[in-house]
Each structure stands twice: as C-alpha cells, then as structure tokens.
A and B are shown apart, each in its own frame.
Chain A
Amino acid sequence: MSSAHVTPGSVPGPKLAAHFASLEVQKHAARLGMWLFLATEILLFAGLFACYAAYRFLFPEAWAASSRSLDLTMGTINTVVLITSSFTAAMAVHYAKEGKNKMVGHMNVLTLLMAMGFLVIKFFEYKHKFHIGTLPGRYYFYEGIQLPGAPLYFTVYFASTALHALHVVIGMTVLAFATVRAYRVGDFSANNYTQVELGSMYWHLVDLVWIFLFPMLYLV
C-alpha cells in the first residue's frame, strides 16, 4: 500500500495556517464549521418538510393516492444504493486515518459509482413522470389521479427530490476532489485526514436527507 512511502519529511503533511494556535485547533475548527454547515442544510430541507406536512394535512386523499403512484421498487433500490455508499464513504475515512491512500481512493470511487447509479435511477423515475404527466403545478396532466392537491404533491416531490439530487451532485464533486488527492498526492494519514472526513460527513448528510425523503414521499 501507499503507506510504504509515508515517512516523516517525505510527504507534504498537514499545513498549519498562520492564524491557528495548533493543528488540533485547526482540525477542531474545520469540523465545527462543517457541523454548522450541515445544520443549515438540514434546516434548508426542513422548510420543505414543513410544506409537505402542511399540504398533507390539507389534502390527505390526494397525498395518499399520489404517493402510491410512485415506483416503490426504484425508490427502495435507490435507498439501498445510497445507504451502501454511505458505508464506503465511512470506510474511506477509516483508511485515510491509517494512511492507506490507495484504499481511500478506491472507496471514494465506489461511493461515486453508487452516487451515479442513484442519479441514473432517479433519471428513469423522472422520465416516467414526464411521460405520464405527474408533473408539478400547471404542467400536471395525469388522468389517473384527479384530486385537488395532487399537482401540489408533485410540486413538493419534484422540489425536494431535485434539491436532493443537486446535493448529490455537490457531494460527488467534493468526494471527487478527495479522490484525486488520495491517488495523486497521497498525503492522507493519521494526522491529516480532515478533507476525507468532511467530504464523508457531507455525504452522510445527503444520505440522511434521503432517508427522510423516502418514507415521506414513497411510503407515507
């Protein structure tokens, strides 16, 4: 493994920025900043959850009927894919702490592949909806469910899944950076793994949001 060439001095270690007292503080600051950022992300989705709750209360029948029209199989597969990708993201952190840079890269590539798989499945779901007309707001033309509130359900559905998909893409970008660095620079080690850790934290959030969205939208 790449740990063979990890000897003091030969690898560009963690850099201490001039304004921090110590590496310990710097790492603490980075982690705290990420936690705060993740809190804001959860609150961003919380607004959508509030919309969902309010309209589900107003249109219970439309909500139940529309929810049943979603493809539960695809949703379930996607959930499994995403949870598995969270595992590989966590393994990347584990290997980063051991300085096994190649394994960090491999794990991240697996995560990225699963993320791509998730998006592909999502794409087919979207395509099907465009085809049958279960679309948000004024674009709704599905004959199967003619209840007041059904177009609104799909407004909420598309708003939340699209926002989530956007986060998947952002997460993939973040992970891609760590992957490139793991393969090309290979300087992750027991005292320098913040980038992998933060990327993986972000990925867990993407996963977590989906774990809320899935029962909300598919299972009711």
Chain B
Amino acid sequence: MTPSSSIAAPGAAVPGHEAHDDHGHHPSYLTDGTTVKSWLLTVDHKRIGIMYMAWILLFFLVGGIFALLIRIELLTPGPTIMDAMTYNRVFTLHGVVMIFLFMIPAIPGIFGNFMLPLMLGAKDVAFPRLNLLSLYVYLAGAGFALWGMLNGGLDTGWTFYTPYSAHTTTTVAPVLFGAFIIGFSSILTGMNFIVTTHTMRAPGITWFKMPLMVWALYATSCIQVLATPVIGLLLLLVTAENLFSLGMFDVARGGDPVLFQHLFWFYSHPAVYIMVLPAFGVMSEVVSAFSRKNIFGYRAVAYSSVGIAFVGFFAWGHHMFVSGQSTFNAGVFGVLSMLVGVFTAIKVFNWVGTVYKGAVEFSTPFAYFCGFLFFTVFGGMTGIAVATVSLDVPWHDTYFVVAHFHFIMVGATIMAFLAALHYWFPKMFGKMYHEGWGLVSAALIILGFNATFIPQFLVGNAGMPRRYYEYPERFQALNVASTAGASLLAFGFIIIAIYLTYALIYGKRVDNPWNSKGYEWLTMSPPPTHNFIGPQPTYPEEPHFYVDPKKAQGEVSDV
C-alpha cells in the first residue's frame, strides 16, 4: 500500500491546478491498495463512506421494490397481487428498511463520512476504527432485521406499537433487536462526528468558518447521541415484552401503551430531523456553489440547524393527538411543533436569498435543489397543518399524513441525496457523468414524486386510512394516479443507475468541474489516502466564498 507511480490514475494532468500539481504521482484513496482486505479493514473515512454507499443503495433498492409492490397492490380496490397478511408484511418491511437502513444513515453515512474531514481540513475522523465499527454494527443490525423479515416477517408497521407488537405471532423480536443494533451504529457515528468537529478542525477553520454541511451534520449528530439511547432501551423492553410477556406496555398487566408511544416518538420525531438536517446541509452547499454566491445569512442558517435539533425534541407529542392526551398537552405540542417551521423557514428564505441575483448554473444538482425547495415548503406547510390539533384529528392515520411525511422526509431527503450524489460524484470518483441525462432523470423524479404523493394528499383528505389493504371504489382514480407516479419515479432511478455506472467506468476525468469553492475541493479529486498531499491547505476565506462573475474582476460579492 505504499504510494507508487505505477498505479496512478490516467489522464491526471488538469490545467490550472497549481495547488497540487503532483497529480499522477500519488494514488488516490481508490487506488491505494486494491485487495478486498484493504477495503474491508480500511480505516479511511472515504472508503468507509463508499462502502456505506454500496450497502445503503442496496437497501434503498429493496425498500423501493417493496414500495412498488404496495402501489401495485393498491391499484385496484380489492386484492390485486397479494393477500392481506402479505400486504401487512410488505408495508412494514418498506417502512423499516427505508427508515432505519436508508433514510437515517444515508447522508451522514455516505457523504458525512466522506466530506466531513475534508471540509474540516482533517486527515480523518477522530476515531477511524470506531468509524469502521459503526459500519459493521450497522450491517449486523441490518442482517438481524432482514433475517427476521424474511423468516416470517412482521405485521406491526415500522412503529411497532404496543400492545399489538407484544402479542402478534409474527417475527417481531429479531427485527426489534436489529433496529436496536442499528441504533448503536447511529450513536457511534454521531459521537465520532461531534468529536471530529470539536477537535480536528484545521488551523484557520473557526466555528463560524465551518461549511454549513458541517453545521448540519453537527446538529444531526447531537440528535443522534441524545435521542437514540432512549429508543434503544424501548426496543429492548418491547423485545423482552414480546418474548417473555413482562407486561411493561401491556394493558392487561397494568402497562401503559401510551407510555410506549411517548418513548417511541421521543426518538422517532427527532429522527425526522436526523433524516432531513443533513439534507439541509447538502442544499446549503449546492445552492451556494451553483448560484456562485456566498450563502446569504450564514449564521442564521447555521443557528437554525441547531434550533431545529433543539425544538425537535419537544415536538413528539403531536403524534399522539388522538391517544387520549389532554387538550392542553395537545395544544402545547402543536405550538412547539410549529416552531420547527419557523427555523425551517429561516433556511428557506436564506437559500432563496442566495439564489437571488446569483449567476445560476442550472445543472443537475441545482435541478434537485429546485425540487427540494418545493418539497420542503409544501411538506413543511402541510406539517404546520397537521400540527394543528383540530385538523389533525380528521387527518390522523389517513393518507394525508402519509403524503405529508413522504413529502418532507422522503421528498426533501431524496432530493438532497441525489443532489449530493451528483454534486460530489466528481469529488468522490474523479469522473464526470452525462449532464443531459442527469437533467432528464431529475425532471422525471421530481415529476414522478409529485404524481405519486399529491394524489395521496387528496385521497387522504377524502378519508382513505393508511395501511389498509382494500378501499372503496371511489378512491381508485387517485390510487391509480399515485401508482403511475411511482412507476415514473422508479424509471428515473433506473436511468440514474445506468448513467452513473457508465460514468464510473467511462466518465471523463475531472477535478473540480463546478469550480466550487467548498473546502472539500481544495484537495485533488478523488482525494489521496490522507486527504492532502504536501502542506495542508490554508483557509483564508470563508466557505462558500465566491467572487461574483457579473461584477468587475476581483470584486467581492456583496452578500
């Protein structure tokens, strides 16, 4: 694994690249060691990020296939392709895989691992071996969960509500235990990121010179560390309950299922921000890079990440408006939930302020930014609506709520995930994809997503409950529309898979195709093993620092 010129990447000479012109003499992290062992036992945060990517994309495929099965089943009012019990198992599997194996680890696991040290000018995360461990813990948990789901499956939905989850004869225990283990992985990653941010910043990078992606990951990590242990305990208790009938959450034995809901949502509501805060971070990077402007209101965007993380802990009760909670509690939780909207709005206005009068380059990541803006605002507005007790009571457990959380959690996160994938693809692999296909698939996905979930708002408002296997005739048209949208969405993902795989093999060699000023681009693409060759870069400017091309040469953008 010693550096050797014989394994240098071809065509490495990039013009205008004086900062590290020893390109081609140093292997990138991809070529430094090519044995299987050098990957599986690596402590390099970049390789760990890539391994996360491989697994997470696989789980995304699994979850996506099950989403399509759900949509096909709901194509007709009666039974279509499966029986009711299979349907219960399929939507549970879709939920568990998408939440625990895709949405929560996706951006921190892949892009957080890869970018955080680069953005801080560090050689690695603070605890590299712990980082590798968190990957394997994640895989062990995934193994448990998938094993349970394939050997019998479970029909509780991903929320595992008691007392049903304590009594059902399906395979609940291994899945719960798997989710518990995955929680460990989440905690380890969060701890690692917090310590890295505190101790590994390069000289010159102060707290308010950190890229906004780092702020978002930092806030996310705080939630992971503070919320995950509680659900860890809860999952253990429910596992024990299911196996041994201890009565902890069982009414028949004096237990209180509402207590389960409190503890469950104490994690699972902040978990929404574990999914969406990294997405906000990605978008802050993307909007600045493609508007060629410094981010508008840097401090407001940074603080609002922390603000969302903070108030996110006081919003869990809005999941329990119809659980017999007092009206006063419901009102308090409603108002606290709406506060999240205030902090999100701060971000949205600042992003729009960044685009305003910027020199916008409408590339694939920016297309996803536009989709993201729509999904965040629309999903956020419906969030304010469902945080209102009087509106939530009729909407509770209908497709309206399904559509709402898919808009904000899935819509926003997928947009950011794809934007990150396209924006950092050249950084990670040093190759460029086909921009035209990128835009086509972005259009398909944004369109498909709207076509899938807008009908669900309508059908939910009309009263169709979630998780039901059959429905009355009158809901069919909207369900067909939703399924059609889902197939468009799937088609978009297939195109992305094809052209990115092609780009990985045959793509043009690039270094910084966006001329991005983000700190992570200060080293070569793909980066070398210890991130920097030669002296560490200096950081005289703020991140997202762009000179406005529309202004006179050398003049600094005024916002």
Number of interface residues of B (CB under 8 A): 40
A36 CB–B CB distance under 8 Å: yes
Asked if A136 and B128 sit within 8 Å, CB to CB, the answer is no
Interface with B: A7-15, A47-55, A204-212, which one?
A: A47-55
Find chain A residues with CB under 8 A from B195 CB.
29, 32-33, 36
Interface with A: B57-65, B67-75, B167-175, B227-235, which one?
A: B227-235
Asked if B229 and A47 sit within 8 Å, CB to CB, the answer is yes
Asked if A152 and B126 sit within 8 Å, CB to CB, the answer is no
On whether A29 and B247 interact (CB within 8 A), knowing A19-B530, A36-B194, A40-B228, the answer reads no
B496 CB–A CB distance under 8 Å: no
B263 CB–A CB distance under 8 Å: yes
Among residues of B, the one whose C-beta sits closest to the C-beta of A43 is: B229
**B257-281 residues at the A interface, CB under 8 angstroms:** 259, 262-263
B244 CB–A CB distance under 8 Å: yes
Asked if A148 and B259 sit within 8 Å, CB to CB, the answer is no
Question: How far in angstroms is the closest Cβ of chain B from A187?
Answer: 20
- CA–CA, A149 to B248, complex, Å? 10
Find chain A residues with CB under 8 A from B225 CB.
36, 39-40
Chain B's interface: helix, strand, loop or mixed, by majority?
helix
Asked if A137 and B245 sit within 8 Å, CB to CB, the answer is yes
Find chain A residues with CB under 8 A from B122 CB.
19
A-contact bits for B508-530, CB 8 A (1 contact / 0 none): 00000000000000000000001
Find chain B residues with CB under 8 A from A32 CB.
194-195, 198-199
B127 CB–A CB distance under 8 Å: yes
Find chain B residues with CB under 8 A from A17 CB.
128
Question: How far in angstroms is the closest Cβ of chain B from A161?
Answer: 14
B124 CB–A CB distance under 8 Å: yes
For chain A, give the interface size range: 35 or more
Among residues of B, the one whose C-beta sits closest to the C-beta of A25 is: B199
Asked if B245 and A18 sit within 8 Å, CB to CB, the answer is no
- CA–CA, A32 to B240, complex, Å? 33
Find chain A residues with CB under 8 A from B229 CB.
40-41, 43-44, 46-47
B551 CB–A CB distance under 8 Å: no
Asked if A50 and B191 sit within 8 Å, CB to CB, the answer is no
Question: How far in angstroms is the closest Cβ of chain A from B263?
Answer: 6
**B178-199 residues at the A interface, CB under 8 angstroms:** 187, 191-192, 194-196, 198-199
On whether A155 and B247 interact (CB within 8 A), knowing A19-B530, A29-B127, A47-B229, the answer reads yes
20 contacts between A and B (CB under 8 A): A17-B128, A25-B200, A29-B126, A32-B195, A33-B192, A40-B191, A44-B230, A44-B232, A46-B229, A48-B233, A50-B262, A51-B263, A55-B255, A136-B247, A137-B246, A137-B247, A138-B244, A138-B247, A149-B254, A159-B246
Q: Residues of A at under 8 Å CB distance from B? A: 17-21, 25, 28-29, 32-33, 36-37, 39-41, 43-48, 50-51, 54-55, 58-59, 136-139, 148-149, 151-152, 155-156, 159, 163
